[in-house]
Structure 1
Amino acid sequence: MLVNWKLESDVNDYVKKQFENLGLKKLQDYNEESAMSAYLKEALKGAAKTQTKTNFGKPDFHIEKYKQVPILIENKLKLSKLVAQTKDGIKFDDKSISDFAVNGALHYARAVIDSGKYHEAVAVGVAGDNEENVTIKVYYVFGSAPNAYKELSKVTTFDFLENESTFETFYKDAILSEEEKHQILIDSQATLQGYAKKLNKLMHNHNITAPQRVLYVSGMLLSMQDIVDCKGNKVDEGLIPDDLKGVQSETKRDGKKVVDQIKAFLDEREINEDKKTLMLASFGEISKDSQRDELTTNDKEVAQLLPQKENSVTKQIFTFIYENIFKSIDGFGGHIDIMGEMYSEFLKYALGDGKEIGIVLTPPYVTKMMAQILGITSESKVMDLATGSAGFLISAMELMIDHANASFGKGTSRANEEIANLKKDNLLGIELNAEMYTLATTNMILRGDGSSRIEKGSAFNRPESLFMDFKANRVLLNPPFSYEENGLPFIAYGLDKMECGGLGAIIIQDSAGSGKAIKTAQAILKKHTLLASIKMPVDLFIPMAGVQTSIYIFKAHEAHDYDQTVKFIDFRNDGFKRAKRGISEVDNPIQRYQDVIKIYKAGKRAEVSKELWDLDAIFIEDFITDKGNDWNFEQHQNIDTKPTLDDFKKTVADYLAWEVEQLLKSKGEDSSKKA
Structure 2
Amino acid sequence: MANEDIIKTWVQDRLKETSSGYSIKQGNLSKEGAREWMPALYEAMIHASKSQNNERGSADFTYIAHGLEENQDYLIIIETKPDVSNLINIQDGRLLMDPKSTKEYAVNGAVWYGKSIQKETQAFPRIFALGVAGNYTRQKISAYYVNETGGIIDVPDTEAFAEFSDSQIDEYYRVNVQHKTPKSELRAEQLADYSEKLHNDIRSYTSLKSEEKAPLVAAILLAIHSKNLSLNMLNGSLSYHNNDGVLIFNAIQDYLDQRKREEPDFNDEKIGVIMSEFAFIKTTKPLYTPVNDLGNHSPLYQFTSELFQVYQSVKIGDDADLLGDFYSEFVKYGGTDGSVLGIVLTPKHITGLMSDLIEVGKDDYLLDPTTGSAAFLVAGMNRMIKQIPKDEHYERTFRDIVANRLHGVEMQRSIYSVASSNMILRGDGKSNLSYGKFQDFKLKSQITGQEPQGTMYARADSFTKVLMNPPYSQGKKAPEIMFIKHALELMSKGGKLAVIVPISVFVSGGKEVTATKFKEFKEWLLTNHTVEAIITMNLQTFYPTATQTVIAIIRAWEPQEKKKTKLVNFIDDGYSVVPKKGLIPNGSQSAKRQKLIDVVVNGDTATPDFMMPIQLTVDNEWVHNAHYTNPDKPSDADFLQAVADFVAFKQDMILHGKDYLFNDQSR
Residue 553 of structure 2 aligns to a residue whose secondary structure is strand
Aligned to 1:509: 502
In structure 1, distance between residues paired with 2:184 and 2:640: 49
Aligned to 1:540: 541
Which residue identity is paired with 2:304? F
Which residue identity is paired with 2:327? Y
How much has 1:400 moved relative to structure 2?
A: 0.2
Aligned to 1:438: 417
Aligned to 2:532: 531
In structure 2, distance between residues paired with 1:348 and 1:468: 35
Residue 474 of structure 1 aligns to a residue whose secondary structure is strand
How much has 1:596 moved relative to structure 2?
A: 1.7
Q: Rate the CA distance shift 1:515–1:653 in 2: closer, same or farther, 3 A.
A: closer
How much has 1:382 moved relative to structure 2?
A: 0.5
Residues 527-564 of structure 1: per-residue CA shift (max 9 Å, x gap): 11100011111011112x11010000000001221x22
Which residue identity is paired with 1:527? N
Which residue, 606, 616, 625 being the options, matches 1:634? 625
In structure 2, distance between residues paired with 1:504 and 1:456: 21
Which residue, 474, 478, 489 being the options, matches 2:469? 478
Q: Comparing 444-453 with 586-595, which one deviates more in the overlay?
A: 586-595
Contact kept? 1:603, 1:619, Cα under 8 Å: no
Contact kept? 1:211, 1:350, Cα under 8 Å: no
**2:460 equivalent to 1:488:** no
How much has 1:438 moved relative to structure 2?
A: 0.7
In structure 2, distance between residues paired with 1:548 and 1:447: 31
Aligned to 2:357: 373
Q: Rate the CA distance shift 1:195–1:594 in 2: closer, same or farther, 3 A.
A: farther
How much has 1:504 moved relative to structure 2?
A: 0.4
Aligned to 2:147: none
How much has 1:246 moved relative to structure 2?
A: 1.8
Which residue, 331, 350, 356 being the options, matches 2:334? 350
In structure 1, distance between residues paired with 2:609 and 2:246: 60
Aligned to 1:326: 311
In structure 1, distance between residues paired with 2:637 and 2:579: 41
In structure 1, distance between residues paired with 2:481 and 2:191: 31
Which residue identity is paired with 2:425? L
**2:451 equivalent to 1:461:** no
- The 5 A counterparts of 1:284-433 are 284-298=279-293, 309-323=295-309, 325-330=310-315, 334-404=318-388, 408-409=389-390, 412-433=391-412
In structure 1, distance between residues paired with 2:189 and 2:524: 41
In structure 1, distance between residues paired with 2:435 and 2:418: 12
Residue 250 of structure 1 aligns to a residue whose secondary structure is coil
Contact kept? 1:479, 1:490, Cα under 8 Å: yes
Which residue, 624, 641, 644 being the options, matches 2:616? 624
| Residue segments in structure 1 that go unaligned for 5+ positions in a row | 1-178, 227-236, 300-308, 607-614, 656-675
Aligned to 1:256: 246
Aligned to 2:66: none
How much has 1:580 moved relative to structure 2?
A: 6.2
Contact kept? 2:370, 2:469, Cα under 8 Å: yes
Residue 492 of structure 2 aligns to a residue whose secondary structure is coil
Residues 488-518 of structure 1: per-residue CA shift (max 9 Å, x gap): 2112111111110100010000101011351
Q: Rate the CA distance shift 1:369–1:653 in 2: closer, same or farther, 3 A.
A: closer
Determine which structure has the larger helix proportion and give its number: 1
Residue 626 of structure 1 aligns to a residue whose secondary structure is coil
Residues 294-323 of structure 1: per-residue CA shift (max 9 Å, x gap): 221245xxxxxxxxx221111111112112
Residue 577 of structure 2 aligns to a residue whose secondary structure is strand
In structure 2, distance between residues paired with 1:511 and 1:650: 29
Q: Rate the CA distance shift 1:184–1:497 in 2: closer, same or farther, 3 A.
A: farther
In structure 1, distance between residues paired with 2:368 and 2:423: 13
Residue 287 of structure 1 aligns to a residue whose secondary structure is helix
In structure 2, distance between residues paired with 1:499 and 1:333: 27
Residue 428 of structure 1 aligns to a residue whose secondary structure is strand
Q: Rate the CA distance shift 1:654–1:539 in 2: closer, same or farther, 3 A.
A: closer
Residue 269 of structure 1 aligns to a residue whose secondary structure is helix
In structure 2, distance between residues paired with 1:548 and 1:653: 25
In structure 2, distance between residues paired with 1:652 and 1:214: 51
Residue 501 of structure 1 aligns to a residue whose secondary structure is strand
Contact kept? 1:488, 1:521, Cα under 8 Å: no
Aligned to 1:47: none
How much has 1:521 moved relative to structure 2?
A: 3.1
Aligned to 2:234: 244
In structure 2, distance between residues paired with 1:260 and 1:468: 30
Q: Which 4+ runs in 1 deviate beyond 3 A?
A: 182-188, 271-274, 466-470, 602-606, 646-655
Aligned to 2:187: 188
Q: Rate the CA distance shift 1:596–1:501 in 2: closer, same or farther, 3 A.
A: same
Residue 393 of structure 2 aligns to a residue whose secondary structure is helix
Residue 469 of structure 1 aligns to a residue whose secondary structure is coil
Q: Rate the CA distance shift 1:572–1:287 in 2: closer, same or farther, 3 A.
A: same
Contact kept? 1:185, 1:335, Cα under 8 Å: no
How much has 1:186 moved relative to structure 2?
A: 3.6
TM-score if structure 2 supplies the norm length? 0.61
Aligned to 2:550: 550
Aligned to 2:99: none
Q: Rate the CA distance shift 1:651–1:198 in 2: closer, same or farther, 3 A.
A: closer
Q: Rate the CA distance shift 1:416–1:297 in 2: closer, same or farther, 3 A.
A: same
In structure 2, distance between residues paired with 1:419 and 1:366: 24
Residue 268 of structure 1 aligns to a residue whose secondary structure is helix
Which residue, 491, 497, 508 being the options, matches 1:498? 491
Residues 450-483 of structure 1: per-residue CA shift (max 9 Å, x gap): 5430010112112431348332100111000123
Residues 266-307 of structure 1: per-residue CA shift (max 9 Å, x gap): 1112255542221111001111123432221245xxxxxxxx
How many aligned positions are there?
Answer: 435
TM-score if structure 1 supplies the norm length? 0.61
In structure 2, distance between residues paired with 1:254 and 1:595: 52
Q: Rate the CA distance shift 1:185–1:393 in 2: closer, same or farther, 3 A.
A: farther
Q: Rate the CA distance shift 1:418–1:333 in 2: closer, same or farther, 3 A.
A: closer
In structure 2, distance between residues paired with 1:523 and 1:244: 58
Contact kept? 1:188, 1:336, Cα under 8 Å: no
How much has 1:209 moved relative to structure 2?
A: 3.0
- The 5 A counterparts of 1:96-135 are none
Residue 310 of structure 1 aligns to a residue whose secondary structure is coil
Residues 41-87 of structure 1: per-residue CA shift (max 9 Å, x gap): xxxxxxxxxxxxxxxxxxxxxxxxxxxxxxxxxxxxxxxxxxxxxxx
How much has 1:633 moved relative to structure 2?
A: 1.4
Q: Rate the CA distance shift 1:381–1:636 in 2: closer, same or farther, 3 A.
A: same
Percent identity of equivalent pairs? 25
Residues 78-126 of structure 1: per-residue CA shift (max 9 Å, x gap): xxxxxxxxxxxxxxxxxxxxxxxxxxxxxxxxxxxxxxxxxxxxxxxxx
Aligned to 2:178: none
How much has 1:604 moved relative to structure 2?
A: 5.0
RMSD of aligned alpha carbons: 2.7
Which residue identity is paired with 1:346? F
How much has 1:573 moved relative to structure 2?
A: 0.9
How much has 1:333 moved relative to structure 2?
A: 6.8
How much has 1:600 moved relative to structure 2?
A: 1.4
Contact kept? 1:471, 1:499, Cα under 8 Å: yes
Contact kept? 1:542, 1:579, Cα under 8 Å: no
| Residue segments in structure 2 that go unaligned for 5+ positions in a row | 1-171, 173-180, 261-265, 445-456, 511-517, 644-667
